Structure 1
Amino acid sequence: MEMAEEVMTFTPSKEEFKDFVRYVAFMESQGAHIAGIAKIIPPKGWKPRHTYDDIDDLLIPAPIQQVVTGQSGLFTQYNIQKKPMTVVEFQKTSNLAKFCSPRYVDFDELERKFWKNLTFNPPLYGADVSGTLFDPDVSEWNMAHLNTILDTVESESAVKIKGLTTPCLYFGMWKSAFPWHTEDMNLYSICYLHYGEPKSWYVVPPEHGRRLERLAKGFFPGNAQSCEAFLRHKMTLISPSILKKYGIPYEKVTQEAGQFIVTFPFAYHAGFNHGFNCAESTNFATQRWIDYGKQAKLCSCRQDMVKISMDAFVRKFQPDRYKLWKAGKDDTPIDHVKPTPEATMEKKSWCRRKNRPYAVIRKKTSNM
């Protein structure tokens, strides 16, 4: 089996942490995007919020119960909307005997319990709650204003898209999960775990994304026939043992409270929560994303699926390709290894600061 790239962990200094766009470019200059996901541990002392003691009464308007059917590593998740509840009510529910986290020695044991018990005791998930827990005066990595080129959507069309151009909160409990998907329009995503139990992620590197799509299509032919982009429905759970059996490279990473996770364009990811927690997430973009956005396969069967016009992005950032693209003739293949154009300058700058030689990223190739 071909190995996936190792997931990188970054520990920026206070100075490096000040500029989000620049640091993402630096991460790509180091090859972080090749794995499809990266972990970032903020500088010591950095806090996004003074206190979390004041959010108990925050309302979760539409918690969902996640009912899972299936067997042998192949599952479908159905979301049943429940009545509104406050954060403190959700937390109390998560502590009930049938919902609380099991005892476990290490991650491997917890992971086995997750996949073994997926179809029992459907958990609740407080997903897609509009809002942010970042204090307004926090300037670093504040999800309410990351200041990336995705802001072009708002400036050009005066449209805000919940969870995509604005942040959303996610309240998890043991076994609540997010099925295999890429982000809307194959964008980047950023997730911060404010507090609580860890969140574990699986990721398939972007260069192997089409292989995962073919595998899912083979296992769920009815879904694939109904919608070419059925994985965008976020209903499909495929266990790592199945991925391994069919030679799909993947990696896992566990996010602890106080850590960021960034997913890169066209990185299929899935995961689950270890227990009660609160995370915040939104999308962003770099110039490298534009080709992914142009080639994104969109769901054709649901009215509420997100679609962004790429016109403003191509016109502004790829003017030399605009006419070709408008004529439907811009079929430039995507290079999943090449970092975003902003990264070249940032890597040279970083090398100068650290007094290190500049090197070009090469793709690792190894076999198991």
Structure 2
Amino acid sequence: MEDIFENSKSNPRIMTFYPTYEQFKNFSKFITYIESKGAHLAGLAKVVPPREWVPRKSGYDIDHINMLIPNPILQLVSGKQGQYQVINMQKRSMTLKDFKAEAESQKYRTPVHFDHDELERKYWKNIAYVSPLYAADVKGSLSDSDLDVWNISRLGTILDFVNTDYGIEIEGVNTAYLYFGMWKSSFAWHTEDMDLYSINYLHFGEPKTWYAIPPAYGKRFEKVAAQMFKEHYDDCNAHLRHKMTMISPKVLSHYNIPVNKITQMAGEIMITFPFGYHAGFNHGYNGAESTNFASPRWIEYGKRARICHCNRDTVKISMETFVRRFQAERYENWLNGVDYGYHPEDPGNICRAPPPTLNVYEYKSSESSGDYKQSRKRKAFQKVNLQNNTNVSLAEFSKEAIVRVRKLSYNPVNTVDYNAIFNDQIERLWNQLPSETVGRNLLTNGIIKNTNRMRFHTKTIILSDDE
């Protein structure tokens, strides 16, 4: 196996791996291997798969891919000087063929450039102009169903316990999602849900530029982002979970936060690691497939992951099955809220791991106990109090989870002032609408705050406070 990397303790670099097919076949074993080489220290790694691995034998002829994109998004960017917020505006559904035509149109096509560095400069210079479309989070897979090696739909990692133990499928987390991009469509700075690993395979098309912050600098990055966008963090201390924040590497360098960069070509795989903040953009029309996965090393990250409580789509996975299986010596303390330790990337801060908050358990008497014949239910809330039943020992009961994953309650928070932020974007959209005559602006005082739907001619623009 040929590995290309340059690493140091202060600023680990992104590694690239060229495995043979034999080395490539066992996914979990391969992840363990690249971590033994220090790949996780950069938060991101590239894998160039062996030639024998062909995930889709029929190729990518657009005429043979009958796919509907139900919710393409228009990415509106506001900000300046390398600090931006991205709002995703939902558009009407379109076919993949229509999306490709849009991506290659004069309006959206990739500008002429000499190399990837020049294209990157054009990206940051024009990030707030000509809002691109992005077909993100599309359910499905482009891989052959009989693909047994590195099939993104079934990687066979410990994250499968969410499904086998709980009977839960979380779209895009333990199932595959597709992403179709065009020039300048972006993915904002974020870590994965519950700080999981992720895999991204670029099936076809133009490259992606990836930025990655080493996990050891993740806490510092969070503090810097909170300072830059204080008004958003006042509403949600996990604002980066909203996937709205774009900060240029040049700006982050002023705060002594190292940012590594790498280009992903078609046919290459990117692996992100727990608590590895990453962002990037597409060079043009392309298609990628992605999902999350886990390893035992992730569990402590998952227990201490910061959760957004204001977004109704927040993913929260119960850690009960993972702690019980892989941290048995800490299980009782964790249930009781006294599992003291530290976040793997914040070793100087000793604190307790949050106990389970979403599970509903059913305790049944075991064969060794004759005192309790009836099953009973107990909710494991923020403060688990197993001492309420003084005559009952937890060891006397086997436990079966009834409800393991539940959407967090959603309390809408009005964080976006459309008057202040989107006036220029709407004006641009207005000017781009086809019309035989010049329209008259009826919104002389700016955009009506909290507007949910506005019609200009025959086109609909949806501005939703819920996003």
Fold equivalence (TM over 0.5): yes
Following TM superposition, where does structure 1 have runs of at least 4 consecutive aligned residues deviating by more than 3 angstroms? 334-338
Asked whether 1:11 is paired with 2:18, we answer yes
Once the two structures are overlaid, the 10-residue window that deviates more, 264-273 or 49-58, is 49-58
Cα deviations across residues 135-174 of structure 1 (Å, max 9, x unaligned)? 0111111011100000010111101000000000000000
Q: After TM superposition, list the pairs within 5 Å mapping 1:241-260 onto structure 2.
A: 241-260=250-269
What is the Cα deviation at residue 336 of structure 1? 4.9
3-state SS of the aligned residue for 2:321? helix
- 1-structure distance, mates of 2:160, 2:328: 18
Structure 1 match to 2:242 = 233
3-state SS of the aligned residue for 1:15? helix
Structure 2 match to 1:356 = none
- 1-structure distance, mates of 2:346, 2:255: 23
- 2-structure distance, mates of 1:211, 1:111: 25
Pick the aligned partner of 2:38 from 13, 31, 41. 31
Is residue 301–residue 344 contact of structure 2 (8 Å, CA) maintained in 1? no
Structure 1 match to 2:227 = 218
- 2-structure distance, mates of 1:309, 1:227: 22
Is residue 4–residue 204 contact of structure 1 (8 Å, CA) maintained in 2? no
Once the two structures are overlaid, the 10-residue window that deviates more, 187-196 or 108-117, is 108-117
Cα deviations across residues 103-131 of structure 1 (Å, max 9, x unaligned)? 11122211110011001100000000001
- 2-structure distance, mates of 1:4, 1:69: 31
Cα deviations across residues 198-228 of structure 1 (Å, max 9, x unaligned)? 0111011111101110000000001101001
Structure 2 match to 1:113 = 122
Unaligned runs of 5+ in 2: 1-8, 348-467
Is residue 3–residue 249 contact of structure 1 (8 Å, CA) maintained in 2? no
- 2-structure distance, mates of 1:205, 1:238: 15
Is residue 34–residue 336 contact of structure 1 (8 Å, CA) maintained in 2? no
C-alpha root-mean-square deviation of aligned residues, in Å?
1.4
- 1-structure distance, mates of 2:65, 2:176: 19
Structure 1 match to 2:104 = 95
Q: After TM superposition, list the pairs within 5 Å mapping 1:32-71 onto structure 2.
A: 32-50=39-57, 51-53=59-61, 55-71=64-80
3-state SS of the aligned residue for 1:222? helix
3-state SS of the aligned residue for 1:98? coil
Is residue 171–residue 278 contact of structure 1 (8 Å, CA) maintained in 2? yes
Structure 2 match to 1:264 = 273
Asked whether 1:188 is paired with 2:197, we answer yes
Is residue 34–residue 337 contact of structure 1 (8 Å, CA) maintained in 2? no
Asked whether 1:129 is paired with 2:138, we answer yes
Structure 1 match to 2:379 = none
Q: How many residues align?
A: 337
What is the Cα deviation at residue 4 of structure 1? 2.5
What is the Cα deviation at residue 333 of structure 1? 2.1
- 1-structure distance, mates of 2:319, 2:221: 26
What is the Cα deviation at residue 3 of structure 1? 5.2
Which structure has more RCO (C-alpha within 8 Å, separation ≥ 6)? 1
TM-score (norm. length: structure 1): 0.89
Pick the aligned partner of 2:208 from 181, 185, 199. 199
What letter is aligned with 1:216?
A
Asked which structure has the greater CA Rg, the reply is 2
Q: After TM superposition, list the pairs within 5 Å mapping 1:103-182 onto structure 2.
A: 103-182=112-191
Cα deviations across residues 16-42 of structure 1 (Å, max 9, x unaligned)? 111001000001011000000000000
Is residue 300–residue 344 contact of structure 2 (8 Å, CA) maintained in 1? no
Percentage of pairs with the same residue: 51
- 1-structure distance, mates of 2:90, 2:346: 40
- 1-structure distance, mates of 2:121, 2:338: 48
- 2-structure distance, mates of 1:145, 1:332: 33
- 2-structure distance, mates of 1:235, 1:337: 24
- 1-structure distance, mates of 2:11, 2:292: 24
3-state SS of the aligned residue for 1:292? helix
Is residue 9–residue 39 contact of structure 1 (8 Å, CA) maintained in 2? yes
3-state SS of the aligned residue for 1:49? coil
- 2-structure distance, mates of 1:106, 1:182: 29
TM-score (norm. length: structure 2): 0.71
What letter is aligned with 2:80?
Q
Q: Evaluate the alpha carbon distance shift between residue 204 and residue 132 of structure 1 in structure 2; reply closer, same or farther with a 3 A threshold.
A: same
What is the Cα deviation at residue 45 of structure 1? 3.3
